[in-house]
Amino acid sequence: MNEIDLDKIDMMGSPPEHEPERQYYFMAKCREWVREFEQKNGRYPLACIQTFGCQMNAKDSEKLSGILTTIGYVVTDTEKADFVLYNTCTVRENANTRVYGRIGYLGRIKRKENPGMKIALCGCMMQEEHVVAKIQHSYPFVDLIFGTHNIYKLAELLYRQINAGGMVVEIEQESREIVEELPSELKYGFKAGVNIMYGCNNFCSYCIVPYVRGRERSRRAVDIIQEMEELAKNGVTEVMLLGQNVNSYGKTLETPVSFAELLQRAEQVEGIRRIRFMTPHPKDLSDELIDVMAKSKKICHHLHLPVQSGSSRILKLMNRHYTKEDYLALVGRIRAAMPDVALTTDIIVGFPGETEEDFMETMDLVARVRYHSAYTFLYSPRGGTPAAAMDGQVLEEIAKERYDRLIGRIRAISQELAGEDTGKTAEVLVEEINAQREGFVTGRLENNLLVHFPGNEKLLGKYVRVKLLECMGFYYMGAPV
């Protein structure tokens, strides 16, 4: 996509000042190095990107992969590679712990098997000073560290590292500009994420995202639509519009555009058959949006609507700007307009000050809303967020016991709901060859549930009408009709 011919770049001159030309210049420079590597070793260098965290990181990894492929790296899944890049997440402490463990493991591979291996770290964790300090101190074999605001500069930073050696660290506190038109390597050929905005301004009191992703910035609608058109031309039929709070899309643009308006424009893009989005914040999900979704033929009737807690008192401490009653009323309006909508959510258990009574409010809300599925998290204090300094931190064993009760209730409800379409015929977008069962493929219904049915690789990326024979909890077994 949007490829600039690297062979036409004047590499004798000094690097261009403007983006994205500057990055293409450094891609060409790195490619010279890759060619030397190939001549010396008789093979192209392998690169492996491991992604932690959310859809934003997955999208960033596609961009990083696009840059590495343009340079000439061969992308692989195994960490026994010549360049290993971890795109990290810091939303909960266990995400961080996992990353430290993996870096230690990489260090051992580098020492024993491949001293020329380059190890790079980027993403949300790297925006935290104490993390970078710890890596500099305890993992000196790391070659490159960058953050969330300069992923587009991978080629430039890599070039600097190749020439200077040692550990190159470049973290920026805010994004200076939104750099468009760099290469991107899609994970699937038929579905893609599209960023509509970056950052977050909500400052929910438990959440570190606004600190590591910076202030909210929307992309221009024309750029988003153009990206969708290009994706469609290349065979993509399903897009997921991405942002931390998609409902506040467009408010800061020169000519403001609402999210509902953006969706209406997106719907006009020929070739796109399914549109999804993540994540809407309940506090400003508009009636206009519900209306647009209900009327649309392309916007999937699935809403991931994070509630976080069912207690209005806790929601206030969380700085979520809605009450339990507001949320239930919103769900009522959504269901009235779209009776077939599938609702999913995120819930945090054990937020500071949460009492048994507060927790029972969450249990009650879950029983009333009846989610198709829910992600539940144990509260994890994040340094620098207001909640981490609040009184009444909940003991781990109490939080865990509540967590188990909540999961039990959510599972029971989703099992009841999941079977409701048994016997119906529905359209499935085939995503993968089924790894567990030979001769089967796996696809997704509009409401995001998975379906396994007999088929082969010819069906990948195709829409198939499938009869839903039996529900197995979180997925269906089906048969093509």
Task: Return residues touching ligand SF4 (CB under 6 A).
Answer: 200, 202-204, 207, 209-210, 244-245, 281
Select 87 or 442, whichever has its Cβ closest to ligand SAH.
Answer: 87
471 and 441 Cβ atoms separated by less than 8 Å: no
Rule CB under 6 A: choose which of 1, 54, 460, 477 binds ligand F3S: 54
Q: Check residue 124 for interaction with ligand F3S (CB under 6 A).
A: yes
Question: How many residues belong to the site for ligand SAH (CB under 6 A)?
Answer: 17
53 binds, among ligand F3S, ligand SAH, ligand SF4, none (CB under 5 to 8 A by kind): ligand F3S
Q: Check residue 209 for interaction with ligand SAH (CB under 6 A).
A: yes
Q: Taking Cα atoms as reference points, which of 24, 67, 23, 76 lies closest to residue 45?
A: 76
Sign of the four-CA dihedral 172, 177, 183, 186: positive
452 and 434 Cβ atoms separated by less than 8 Å: yes
CB of 204 to ligand SF4, least distance (A): 3
Select 403 or 476, whichever has its Cβ closest to ligand SAH.
Answer: 403
Select 210 or 419, whichever has its Cβ closest to ligand SF4.
Answer: 210
89 binds, among ligand F3S, ligand SF4, ligand SAH, none (CB under 5 to 8 A by kind): ligand F3S
At 269, phi and psi to the nearest 5? -70, 120
Tokens of 24: 């293409």
CB of 25 to ligand F3S, least distance (A): 29
Strand pairing class (425-433; 440-444)? antiparallel
Select 91 or 157, whichever has its Cβ closest to ligand SAH.
Answer: 91
Query: What letter does residue 254 receive in the DSSP assignment?
Result: S
**How far is Cα 137 from Cα 334, in angstroms, rounded to an integer?**
51
Tell me which residue has tokens 């010396």. 40
CB of 88 to ligand SAH, least distance (A): 14
Tokens of 133: 């300090």
**Binding range to ligand SAH, per CB under 6 A, among 129-137, 148-156, 202-210, 436-444:** 202-210
Query: How distant, in Å, are the alpha carbons of 51, 59, 63, 123, 457 from that of 187?
Result: 12, 9, 10, 18, 16
Tokens of 52: 């932690």
Tell me which residue has tokens 């058109």. 229
382 binds, among ligand SF4, ligand SAH, ligand F3S, none (CB under 5 to 8 A by kind): ligand SAH
> Which residues ranging from 382 to 411 are in contact with ligand SAH (CB under 6 A)?
382
**How far is Cα 461 from Cα 302, in angstroms, rounded to an integer?**
20
Helix (H) or strand (E) holding 365: helix 356-369
**How far is Cα 159 from Cα 27, in angstroms, rounded to an integer?**
8
Rule CB under 6 A: choose which of 209, 242, 293, 334 binds ligand F3S: 209
Q: Check residue 90 for interaction with ligand F3S (CB under 6 A).
A: yes
Distance, C-alpha 353 to centroid of its chain:
30
CB of 200 to ligand F3S, least distance (A): 8
Binding residues (CB under 6 A) for ligand F3S: these are: 53-54, 56-57, 89-91, 124, 209, 212-213
Binding residues (CB under 6 A) for ligand SAH: these are: 91-92, 206-207, 209, 244-245, 279, 281, 306, 308, 346, 348, 377, 379-380, 382
